[in-house]
Amino acid sequence: MNSSLHPTQEHTMDSISEATDALAQSQAEHHREVKQHTTDIESLKEELKDFKEQMDRMMDETSLLLEEHAKEIEASQPVSELQQQIDDIDIKTRRLRRDGRRMRISLEKRRTRDATTQRSLERRTDRLTAEVSALTNRTDILSLQVLLSPPSLSPTFKLDRID
């Protein structure tokens, strides 16, 4: 150093120089730390930007999935409508089967009644046919009697009325 300085001054200058070096070193270290923090912040900003983009993509995908799900739900609505129609048809089918059974039973009763009536009518027809046959026989007999009777009896012969 300068020899014209007093040892105390020289010591002070050395101290100032050391302090200045320490300050410069501290500033350089601080500058490196700031630079590192700035780099870290920039890196975090990039990560945040990437994360935000990823979240936006995920939100878009979620929205698409929700839309697809909504469409599936809407598409499933006709299925429930079809199920309701199937249930309605099932109810109508059961009613028709029940009505069909009732009609079958009614028809069987009617057939039985008609068969009974038919047999009764056949018996009555047979009885009437027998009566007509008997009357025809009697008429034939009376006609023969009239033909065979002598003309001297009564030319105004009348047949008896048979009721």
Contact between 96 and 89 (Cβ < 8 Å): no
Q: How far is Cα 35 from Cα 32, in angstroms, rounded to an integer?
A: 5
The confidence score (pLDDT) of residue 2 equals 53
Q: Which residue has the higher pLDDT, 52 or 158?
A: 52
Per domain, the residue ranges of the chain are 19-76, 80-145
pLDDT in tens, 134-148: 888 888 888 888 777
- Is 0.75 surpassed by the pTM of this model? no
Read off the pLDDT of residues 57-97 as tens digits, 9 standing for 90 and up: 999 999 899 898 888 877 776 767 778 888 999 999 999 99
Say how far apart CA 6 and CA 55 lie, in whole Å: 70
Q: Please report, to the nearest 10 degrees, the dihedral formed by the alpha carbons of residues 152, 154, 159, 161 taken in order.
A: -140
Task: Please report the sign of the dihedral spanned by the C-alpha atoms of residue 44, residue 50, residue 55, residue 56.
Answer: positive
